Structure 1
Amino acid sequence: MDRLLHHELRAAVSAFAAIAVALTAMGLVRGLSAPDQPGRLGLYVVGLLAFLVVWTLLKATRIKWFSEVRSFEKAVPVEDLDVALPTERLLRDQPYSLRLFVLYLALALPLSFWEPWSLGVLLWSALDWLGQAALIAHWERRNGLLLWRGHVESRPWELSVSRRPPTRTATDARPA
């Protein structure tokens, strides 16, 4: 089992790394040139970020077709499952997904040489994963639960929840 938050962060890091490698390769082959209209790039970035913020806020609502929160609330408690207590693959042990990195690199390299602006689609998905991670972190903190994915290997999208372990202090004393 894998924490959903860590899964989303691994995906975002992998996608950002692949985009960075593709942009570096494009810069080395094509050379770096200034945009034709410098203000247009800023407008594009602001528009992309505004759309992603609205999209993430829609997922934080309970609207039927957009809501991620509803699926978080439908997650099955780990205690009700016939699985062992989740063992967490820590983010520091595996900060990125090699498969996703290779897949994104295979998409990003040809796109960067064909039309550099098309990397915006890949950048959008990476930023969406980052927004999803922020949404998950907020939900987990507010509810005192941890979201897990992959309790059934054939259906990794099904979620389960467990209680957040109590916070440990430096002296191993119980928190006040």
Structure 2
Amino acid sequence: MRQKTSPPASEKIAQAKLLYDAGAPIAQITALLGVSAKQFLAFREKNDWPKRVPVCPRKSGPAKSAPAPVDPDALIPKLEDAVAREFARVETALEKQAPKTIEASARALATLVKTLAELKRMRREADETKEDATRPDDDRADEPPRELAELRAELARRLERLRGGGPPG
């Protein structure tokens, strides 16, 4: 007679979900949850986890066109999810004490965090540029002065702004 296995803890399920989404081998996920591959597939279907996309495209399929450009605002949540998945991989590697996996995960995590920070910085700069463009007095401020005294005064104001000591405008 076969014993019924107890359901895995919610923390392990969350970690398994991250591993599954990251493309970890099913054997690794089943070992984490303590279930067989067949039980895992039933569990995946029961909990509506999406099927994974094959890593290698099929040769007989139709030719794909170039991918559409990705919205930077949509990339940030995806990168944050990737960072969370990579943290789950690191935790799993630490439990198993697999140094090669830990090193690879650390490199991937560092790259993801740098990319995420750069993307957020670029979005922040783009937002600042949009704000600067919508200011009503910007057009007038960029016009060249008509007299030499006015030119000197404008140059002095701009130098003060660059040094951070003077009032804007």
What is the TM-score of this pair, normalised by structure 2? 0.31
Point out the structure with the larger strand share: 1
Higher relative contact order (Cα pairs below 8 Å, separated by 6+ residues): 1
What is the TM-score of this pair, normalised by structure 1? 0.29
Point out the structure with the larger helix share: 2
